[in-house]
Structure 1
Amino acid sequence: MTHPALPAFPHGWFAVALAHEVAAGAVVARRLCGHDIVVWRTAGGQVRVNDAYCMHLGAHLGVGGWVNGQSIVCPFHGWEYDGSGRCVRIPYEKRPMRVTVAPWHVREQDEAVLVWFHPEGLPPTSEVPALEWTGFAHRSREWTVRSHPQEICENTADGAHFRYIHKFPNVMDVAAREDGDSIWFDLRIRDGEVGERAAGEPVPFEITGRADSNVTAVHGPGMAFNETRAKGRILRNRLYATPTDEGVVRLIGVHSVAFEDGRDPEEHIERTMGWAAFDAWEDDIPIWENKIYRPKPFATHPSEEALVQFRRWYQRWYADAAPDRAGAR
């Protein structure tokens, strides 16, 4: 689904792989904002990202290419490039050519590989906050979705959809707080306001008072985050929304569990990764893939002020974009 009312690609950090997908010596082909890139790890353990095509005759370095020490080798004629993209060796010539396959800014954090994109090629102007992951078990899943990263991250600000898409029994109010390149959301349950069940819908589960704390945020243009603490258990969910082409997003969902009392998270994560993460995201996909973007929603109620605030905040991720005043009164 294309979104003509939105710029095709925001600028910022986007996840192109999980760290375990790029082992030492591995070469992985990816798409990011209409560009073919290659993600690879040197023998010394550093993750590098470069344009995908060899400067010689244009072979794709991620299709048959390999790592030689600190360099990536083209599968076609053996040309080698270092992490900066500079040609350092041509096996059948005395000297390499003075050519470069363009490098991309890359960060490896939170067990993910993040790459910076800017349509004008400008360097990073922000960072994604990193977390401590000692004692956590992780599970991940991926989807390709016809949508836009703003639409996907916007769900964090939409309190009403939790009732109708995710079958929460209560209405959720959301308050937003901006903090530079992050926006935080406080979700509050409206006690006593339980929606009617649809035909065949199971009896609502009880959630009032369960969580000791709940933190929800969007960091940068493409990562929605939630942490819930309850009864000594810490649940963390990350949904990375990475635009690969116009109107196409690669979703990387990561569900993580830890216990404050030292219980082994690997023994318990299977119980929570469905209802707490993957099932919920999959419920959203048909909506994302079949909706249009309305810059000015027909009716934006006071309960949806967080959504309006989110849209205004998100404008920072568009180069030369005019402010979105959707729903302003």
Structure 2
Amino acid sequence: MSNGYPEAPDKAVYKNAVVLTLFVVILTTILFYWMFYVPFNWTKHMNDVSYSEVLKSENLSSGAHKRDAINRLRKARKIGSKELPPPFPNGWYGILESSNLKPGGVKYVSCLGEHFVVYRTETNEVFILDAYCPHLGANLGIGGRVVGDSIECPFHQWRFGGTDGKCKHIPYSTSVPQGSKVRKWTSQEFNDFIFVWYHADTTEKPWDLVASVNKMNNDFVFHGRNEFYVNCHIQEIPENGADLAHFGAIHNESIFAGSLTPKTSMLSRFGYHLWAASWSSSKGPDKHIAEVTLSHKLEIFKNLYCFQMDVSGKQIGPSYVNLALYSPTLGHFRILQTITPVEPLMQKVVHRFYGPRWMGPLMKIFIFGESVMFERDMNMWNHKVYRKNPLLVKEDMSLKQFRLWFAQFYENSKSYPEVTNVGW
């Protein structure tokens, strides 16, 4: 109780100490929660990676002029359309992350030269249909409503069943026109992705995606993701795993040296990454699977290594990679990669990271490092031309083997000129 006299010094000090302690406790709790329970998200578009030097020379840093300049650079780049493989290979594609589709949710997804409506019923079933209503062409994925296992058109409320795509109900008509339906796509949900089966031959049966992947550890949790948009042909991204020589060329310098000019950065020697790699493909029923194995060491001083890691990357078809990682120090963790052709030469690449809960702070550092390394590859992909018959040396044999293996996914596929009408 105040008596008009100043507070005793010891009481003021005590009060300040309590306030400071409370502040530190709250801040520590928030930091702890973020490190262990909040997933880390790293998203980069093309204008954020590999075009900055060119834009700097034109004194463009933001806004519409920047986007226009990047689009101009994309069009000006030599494409070599006659050499390009078909842009949409056959296989399973992860077109939507499960967390982006809640029960009763509807999404419109445009990729692979197709237009999909993806929706989840209240009983958690996922269906994928063609997006445009056969009545008057409304987009079922924009304003469509889930009713039971059907999707209802926002324009005239025609309903189409998820199991077969057939029209089930027209509210203002006593009959449903014979043959009124939209295409139903084969799909499955697995490892936090919604996949669609895409094949040039619509009668071709899909391979078993689940059987091709090692089961996720029960104690693994989701730690974060990154997302990139890359200006290249889809084949060039997984081909990187068979390009064994490129690891030493662009991935040796420290992750703290950044992604654009790591060799000239002052931080380039703040840790040195050493790689050993091999690539192989499967035969017989599992011919759609290939595997890259990597051995990584982080050298901080000459012959002094502070971190080692072994990576087994299983490439399943043209677009899905399951990376199992092991470190004697940290144990096991996992990265799942999907590549989705948004356009013939525009790939959306997502990596999702999983591991034990206690690895939260370390996984955030790892997501940062993997993202920087991927951006270094983007600097190449965004500006290179595809060589159908590259000049190779004997040490590039794995590249030749990769292309022979990957060619199986182009059976009956439309060529780049057919898809884009180039020269037509």
C-alpha change, 1:320 and 1:72, in structure 2 (3 Å) is closer
Pick closer, same or farther for the CA change 1:159–1:70 going to 2, 3 Å.
same
2:210 is the counterpart of 1:126: no
Q: 3-state DSSP class of the match of 1:164?
A: helix
CA drift of 1:12 comes to: 0.7
Contact 2:87/2:234 (<8 A) preserved = no
Following the alignment from structure 1 to structure 2, what is the Cα–Cα distance between the partners of residues 278 and 69? 41
The 2-side partners of 1:143 and 1:124 are apart by 30
Aligned to 1:183, the other structure's residue is in SS state strand
The Cα of 1:209 is off from its aligned counterpart by 7.4
- 1:279-290 counterparts in 2 under 5 A? 279-290=372-383
Counterparts in 2 of 1:267 and 1:274: CA distance versus 1, 3 Å: closer
Shift of 1:163: 2.2
Q: Which residue number in structure 2 is paired with residue 313 of structure 1?
A: 405
1:19 aligned onto 2:98: yes
* Deviations, residues 48-97 of structure 1 (Å, cap 9, x unaligned): 00000011100001111121121111111111111021111111222333
Answer whether contact 2:234 2:345 (CA < 8 A) is retained. Answer: no
TM-score normalised to the size of structure 2? 0.66
The percent of aligned pairs where both chains have the same amino acid is: 27
Residue 94 of structure 1 aligns to a residue whose secondary structure is coil
| Alpha-carbon shift at residue 240 of structure 1 (Å) | 0.9
TM-score normalized with structure 1 length: 0.84
CA contact (8 A) 1:50 1:101 kept: yes
1:197 aligns with none
1:43-62 → structure 2 map (5 Å cutoff): 43-62=122-141
Residues 301, 78 of structure 1: CA spacing in aligned structure 2 closer, same or farther, 3 A cutoff? same
Q: Does 1:167 align with 2:255?
A: no
Paired position in structure 1 for 2:364: 270
Query: SS of 1:167's equivalent?
Result: coil
Provide the rounded CA distance (Å) in 1 between the counterparts of 2:340 and 2:90: 11
Give the alignment's Cα RMSD to 1 decimal.
Answer: 2.6
CA deviation profile, 1:252-285 (whole Å, cap 9, x unmatched): 2212223xxxx5344543232111x322222222
Taking the aligned partners of 1:312 and 1:274, their CA distance within structure 2 comes to 34
Deviation readout 1:116-175 (Å, 9 max, x if unpaired):
111232333323223433222222232222212211111111222222222254353424
Q: What pairs up with 1:61-140 in 2 under 5 angstroms? A: 61-83=140-162, 84-98=164-178, 99-128=180-209, 129-133=212-216, 134-138=218-222, 139-140=224-225
Rg (Cα) greater in structure: 2
Gaps of 5+ in 2: 1-73, 254-272, 414-424
Give the secondary-structure state (helix, strand or coil) at the position aligned to 1:254: strand
Q: Structure 1 residues 232 and 171, CA, compared in 2 at 3 Å: closer, same or farther?
A: closer
Q: Which residue of 2 aligns with 1:219?
A: 316
3-state SS of paired residue (2:381): helix
Distance in 2, matches of 1:184 and 1:249, equals 21
Is 1:298 aligned with 2:402?
Answer: no
8 Å CA contact retained: 2:297, 2:307? no
Quote the residue 1:198 is aligned against.
Answer: none
User: Residues 299 and 54 from structure 1, CA distance in 2 versus in 1: closer, same or farther, beyond 3 angstroms?
Assistant: same
C-alpha spacing 1:85/1:287, structure 2 compared with 1 (3 Å): same
Whether the 8 Å CA contact 1:137–1:265 is kept in 2: the answer is no
Cα distance per residue 1:265-309 (max 9 Å; x no partner): 44543232111x32222222221111111122223332x222221
CA distance in 1, matches of 2:154, 2:196: 24
Which structure features the higher share of helix residues? 2
Change (3 A) 1:204 1:9: farther
Structure 1 residues 311 and 205: CA distance shift in structure 2, 3 A: farther
Matches of 2:221 and 2:105, distance apart in 1: 23
Matched pairs, number: 305
CA distance in 2: counterparts of 1:207 and 1:162, whole angstroms: 18
Change beyond 3 A, Cα 1:214–1:103 = same
